Chain A
Amino acid sequence: MKRFIQVISSVLLMTFLSTAAFAAKTDITLGMALEPPNLDPTGGAAAAIDEVVYANIFEGLTRFGSDGSVNPALASAWDIENDGTRYVFNLRPGVKFHDGAEFTAEDVKFSLDRARGEDSTNAQKALFANIAEVEVIDDHTVALNLTNADGNLLFNLAWGDAIILDPASADKAATDPVGTGPFKFSNWVQGDRIEIVRNDDYWGESVALEKATFKFISDPTAAFAALMAGDVDAFPNYPAPENLPQLEADPRFSVVLGSTEGETILSMNNKSEALSDMRVREAISHAIDRQAVIDGAMFGYGTPIGSHFAPHHPSYIDLTGNATFDPEAARAMLKEAGYIDDLTLSLKLPPPAYARRGGEIIASQLREVGIDTEIENVEWAQWLEQVFKGKDYDLTIVSHTEPLDIGIYARDDYYFQYDNDDFNGLISAFNKETDPERRDVMLKQAQTMVSEDYVNGYLFQLAKTGVANSKINGLWENQPTQANDLTGVYWSE
C-alpha cells in the first residue's frame, strides 16, 4: 500500500511539472459539496445558495468582509439618528441590475418589505423583525425606522437574506437570479454545475475572472478524485479533512485553514427526563474528550470551544476549562444524579462527517462513563422534523453556522429547550444596546452563562478547510458567512 501511495504522488508530481508553464487563466471551477436547491437567498435557508450568489450575483446594503467586518456595499454610507432607532443610507448612484434596470431606493424598500412582509418566505425573517418602516427619501437615499434601537442592524443587513432584488426580476430569482453583483448568472445544469460570468458594467472595480463554475460533488471520495484529476481548481469547503495532509503535501495545491461561524456542539434536550438534571449534562460534558473528537472526526482540524461562541470573535473568552475531559468526575456526577450504568440516551446524527463520525466517538466515550446511546443517522429533513421541530431527541450534534448566534439560547421553545430568564433578559438588552464596550461585556456574560449551565456539550469551532490550486489567489480564508466571494480572486502566472 505504501508503494501505491508513493506511485500516486510521483505521478502527480510529474503532471505538476508538465502543467507548470501556462498563461494566467481567467476561469475557475469551484467544488461544492451541496447543490443549492434554488438561487434566491431570500427564499431558502440552504447555505449553498449564498455560497453561489452572495457578493457574486447579489449584494445588500452592507456586506461582510473576509474578516467578518461589516462594510458598505450598495449603501456607500449611513447615519444613525434618534439614538439608534433610525438609520439613513446613502445609496451608490449608477448601479445597474444585470438586466439593465436602474438600482434605486424603491428597490431597497421593495426588497426589505418583501422580506419582512406577511407572506414572506424568508428563512431569516427574524432579522427584520425590528424594522418598523422603510422610508424612501429620494432615489438614492433610504431610511429604516426601527421599533427599538438595534445594534445588530448593519450586521443583519449584511446577511445574504437581506440582499436587494429588482421588483421586475424578483420572482424569477430562484432559477434566474438578477442582481447587481460583479457576476451574472449564465447557466445551471441541475445536479452537476452552475456557471456565472463577469458582469462588465459592474459599479465597483471589475473582477479578474471572466467565468466561474460551481461543480457539485457530494461524495468526499469523489471530491478528492476531482481535485486530483484536475476537474476542479478549488474546494473552498473541502468535505473530507482526512485527505488534507495528503493535499498539503502536494505542491499543486495549497490548503487554506480558516475559521467559520460554525460552533459544533453536542446539543442536549434540556427538558428530556435525564438531561433536565444539570448534573447529568455536566457529567456528559466531562465525559467528552474534545481533542479525540477533533482528531477522530475532523482529523485534527477544529478549535476546541467551551461555549457557544466563535474563538476568532473579539469578545471571545476561553471557557473550555468548564468542561475538562474527566471520566472519573463524570461517573461521580452521574452517580450523584442517581444513574449507575443504567442511562440510555438517543443520539440523532445528521449527515455531515463531523456529526456522523463525531457521534460514534462520543458514543464510545459516553459508554466509558456508563451512558449507553442509541445512535440514529438521520437525513436533514428528518432532523428538522424530529429534533428541531419535534424535540424528540436526547442528544444530537450540529454545527450552528450563523454568525454571532448565541441569541438562539434566548428563543423560547428553541430545540435545546433551555430557558433561563436572566439569559433572555441579557439578550434582549444586548439587542437594544449600541455601545460597543457594553455589548462586549454582555457577550462575555452570555458565553459564561450557557457554559456554566452546561446547556450543551461544546465541542469545537468548525474549521474552514479550503483546498485550492496553489496558483489561485484571493479566496476567502475565513468564513464569516456562507459565501464564496470571488471578487478578489485571480490566477497568478
Chain B
Amino acid sequence: MAATTKSRFRNLVPGAVLVCIFFGAAVLSFFYTPFDVEKFNIAQRMLRPDAVHWLGTDHFGRDILSMLMVGARTSLAVAFVAVSIGIVVGVPLGLMAASYRGRWLDELIMRGNDLVFAFPALVIAIMITAVFGPSAVNAIIAIGIFNIPVFARLTRGAALGIWNREFILAARVAGKNSVRISVEHILPNILNLLIVQGTIQFSLGILAEAGLSYVGLGAQPPTPSWGRMLADSQTLTNLAPHLALFPGMVIVLSVLGLNLLGDGLRDWLDPRLRRE
C-alpha cells in the first residue's frame, strides 16, 4: 500500500518550510534585528502593530518582532538541548536494555524508566528550579530528564524487533559482541524512528519551555524567550492583546511545523513506520 507521492509530501513540505522560517529567524537574529531588544523605551510601550513596528511593541517598548527573533534562539535552543539529552542518555540505555533483554539490567533500566514516568513532570520541573533557581539551563535539565525514558523506551522497543532479525544471528556467527552489534546493526536500523521521535519531542520541548517560562521558571531576563514573552504579557492581554497573540502564534506555528515535519519524515524516510 504505497502512498501516492502527493500524500507523501503533504506534511513534509509545509513542515520543513515552517521550521526553516523559525530557525532562519533565530540565526538571522545574531546578525540583524529590526530594533535593539536591549533598549527599553517606556514612552513607546505597547504600541499596536504599524509600519515601523510590524508586530507592535511590548510593555517596555521593545519591538516585538525583534523580540520574537531573539526569543527563537532561547526557545529553540532549550528544546533542542533537552531533546539531545534525551537522545544521548536514553538511546544507549535503550540499546543496553535491548541487548540484555529479560535480564536484570534490562529490568533495572525499564523500572528506572517507569519511575521517572511516574513523577509528575511539571511538578518535578518546579522542584528542580526551586532547588537550583530558575534559569534556561535548569529548564533544559528539567525537560531533558523526561526525554530520557521516552527515547530509552522507544529505542528498546525498536531494538528488540531488530534483535530478532536473522542478520543479527549472522553478525553473531561472525563473532561480534552485543556492543558492536548494537552500534553497527541496531542503531542504523532505528535511526529513522529516532529522528522522527526527535522532531516530535523537540516540539514538545518548545511547549514545555513555554509552560515553564509562563510560571516564571524558564529563561531569566533580560534573555527573551517566547514563553517569557507570553508570561510578561499575561497581565496585559486585555490591554494589548497583541502582546500575547504573537508569541502564542509563533509557538503554535513552530510546534505545528515540527509535528508536520516529524510526520512527513516518517512518511518519507521509512514506509514501514507510516501511520498515514
| Chain A residues, Cβ within 8 Å of B133 | 376, 378, 382
Which of B23-31, B40-48, B203-211 faces chain A?
B40-48
Asked if A190 is an interface residue, CB under 8 A from chain B, the answer is no
Asked if B60 is an interface residue, CB under 8 A from chain A, the answer is yes
Interface residue from B60, B235, B241 paired with A296 (Cβ < 8 Å): B60
A330-366 interface (Cβ within 8 A of B): 351, 353, 356-357, 359-361, 363-365
Asked if A492 is an interface residue, CB under 8 A from chain B, the answer is no
Query: Would you give the shortest CB distance from B191 to chain A, in whole angstroms?
Result: 40
Asked if B276 is an interface residue, CB under 8 A from chain A, the answer is no
Q: How far is the CA of A127 from the CA of B238 in the complex (A)?
A: 44
Q: How large is the interface on B (under 10, 10 to 19, 20 to 34, 35 or more residues)?
A: 20 to 34
Asked if B248 is an interface residue, CB under 8 A from chain A, the answer is no
B239 adjacent to A363 (CB under 8 Å): no
Which of A1-9, A154-162, A474-482 faces chain B?
A1-9
Which of B85-93, B172-180, B181-189, B215-223 faces chain A?
B215-223
Asked if A242 is an interface residue, CB under 8 A from chain B, the answer is yes
Asked if B153 is an interface residue, CB under 8 A from chain A, the answer is no
| Chain A residues, Cβ within 8 Å of B273 | none
Chain A residue at minimum C-beta to C-beta distance from B61:
A296
B40 adjacent to A220 (CB under 8 Å): no
Asked if B234 is an interface residue, CB under 8 A from chain A, the answer is yes
A360-409 interface (Cβ within 8 A of B): 360-361, 363-365, 367, 375-379, 382
| Chain B residues, Cβ within 8 Å of A243 | 235, 238-239
Query: Would you give the shortest CB distance from A304 to chain B, in whole angstroms?
Result: 15
B38-64 interface (Cβ within 8 A of A): 38-40, 42, 45, 48, 59-60
B209-266 interface (Cβ within 8 A of A): 216, 220-222, 234-242
Chain B residue at minimum C-beta to C-beta distance from A289:
B42
Q: Contact flags (1/0) for B122-136 with A, using CB distance below 8 Å?
A: 000000001001110
Interface residue from A353, A363, A367 paired with B235 (Cβ < 8 Å): A353
Q: In this complex, which of A8, A240, A242, A363 has the most chain B Cβ atoms within 10 angstroms of its Cβ?
A: A242
B216 adjacent to A377 (CB under 8 Å): yes
| Chain B residues, Cβ within 8 Å of A378 | 133
Q: A246-B239, A375-B220 given as contacts; is B59 within 8 A of A221 (CB)?
A: no
Query: Would you give the shortest CB distance from B33 to chain A, in whole angstroms?
Result: 16
Q: Contact flags (1/0) for A97-109 with B, using CB distance below 8 Å?
A: 0000000000000
Asked if A248 is an interface residue, CB under 8 A from chain B, the answer is no
Chain A residue at minimum C-beta to C-beta distance from B46:
A242
Dominant secondary structure of chain B at its interface with chain A: loop
B71-110 interface (Cβ within 8 A of A): none
A-B contact count (CB 8 A): 73
Q: How far is the CA of A8 from the CA of B239 in the complex (A)?
A: 11
Interface residue from A242, A363, A377 paired with B236 (Cβ < 8 Å): A242
Q: How far is the CA of A4 from the CA of B59 in the complex (A)?
A: 19
Query: Would you give the shortest CB distance from A241 to chain B, in whole angstroms?
Result: 9
| Chain B residues, Cβ within 8 Å of A453 | none
Chain A residue at minimum C-beta to C-beta distance from B130:
A379
| Chain A residues, Cβ within 8 Å of B134 | 376-377
Chain A residue at minimum C-beta to C-beta distance from B131:
A382
Q: How far is the CA of A363 from the CA of B216 in the complex (A)?
A: 18
B235 adjacent to A292 (CB under 8 Å): no
| Chain B residues, Cβ within 8 Å of A364 | 38-40, 60, 222
| Chain A residues, Cβ within 8 Å of B59 | 242, 296, 357
| Chain A residues, Cβ within 8 Å of B45 | 296
Q: Contact flags (1/0) for A1-34 with B, using CB distance below 8 Å?
A: 1101100100000000000000000000000000
A359 adjacent to B221 (CB under 8 Å): yes
Asked if A183 is an interface residue, CB under 8 A from chain B, the answer is no
| Chain A residues, Cβ within 8 Å of B135 | 376
Q: How far is the CA of A375 from the CA of B235 in the complex (A)?
A: 21
Asked if A224 is an interface residue, CB under 8 A from chain B, the answer is yes
B235 adjacent to A240 (CB under 8 Å): yes
Q: A221-B235, A295-B42, A353-B235 given as contacts; is B221 within 8 A of A363 (CB)?
A: yes
| Chain A residues, Cβ within 8 Å of B235 | 220-221, 224, 240, 242-243, 353
| Chain A residues, Cβ within 8 Å of B237 | 221
Interface residue from B39, B221, B234 paired with A220 (Cβ < 8 Å): B234
Interface residue from A224, A296, A351, A356 paired with B42 (Cβ < 8 Å): A296
Q: How far is the CA of A80 from the CA of B241 in the complex (A)?
A: 60
Chain B residue at minimum C-beta to C-beta distance from A219:
B234
Chain A residue at minimum C-beta to C-beta distance from B232:
A357
Chain B residue at minimum C-beta to C-beta distance from A224:
B238
Query: Would you give the shortest CB distance from A456 to chain B, in whole angstroms?
Result: 21
B220 adjacent to A376 (CB under 8 Å): yes
Interface residue from B40, B234, B242 paired with A361 (Cβ < 8 Å): B40
A377 adjacent to B220 (CB under 8 Å): yes
| Chain A residues, Cβ within 8 Å of B222 | 360, 363-364, 375
| Chain A residues, Cβ within 8 Å of B239 | 242-243, 246
Q: How far is the CA of A359 from the CA of B216 in the complex (A)?
A: 15
Q: How far is the CA of A219 from the CA of B235 in the complex (A)?
A: 8
Q: How far is the CA of A379 from the CA of B235 in the complex (A)?
A: 19
B240 adjacent to A1 (CB under 8 Å): yes
B234 adjacent to A246 (CB under 8 Å): no
Query: Would you give the shortest CB distance from A323 to chain B, in whole angstroms?
Result: 19
Q: Contact flags (1/0) for A204-229 with B, using CB distance below 8 Å?
A: 00000000000000011100110010
B221 adjacent to A246 (CB under 8 Å): no
Interface residue from A225, A228, A240, A360 paired with B60 (Cβ < 8 Å): A360
Q: A8-B238, A221-B237, A375-B222 given as contacts; is B40 within 8 A of A2 (CB)?
A: no
List 14 interface pairs A-B (beta carbons < 8 Å), by A numbering. A1-B240, A1-B242, A242-B59, A246-B238, A292-B40, A292-B42, A296-B42, A296-B59, A353-B235, A363-B222, A375-B220, A376-B134, A376-B135, A377-B216
| 15 new A-B contacts at CB < 8 Å, known A361-B40, A361-B60 | A1-B240, A219-B234, A220-B235, A242-B59, A246-B239, A296-B59, A296-B60, A351-B216, A356-B221, A360-B221, A367-B38, A375-B220, A377-B134, A382-B130, A382-B133
Seen from chain A, the residues whose Cβ lies within 8 Å of a Cβ on chain B are 1-2, 4-5, 8, 219-221, 224-225, 228, 240, 242-243, 246, 292, 295-296, 351, 353, 356-357, 359-361, 363-365, 367, 375-379, 382
Of all A-B residue pairs in the complex, the 6 with the closest CB atoms, nearest first, are: A220-B235, A296-B42, A364-B40, A240-B235, A360-B221, A375-B221
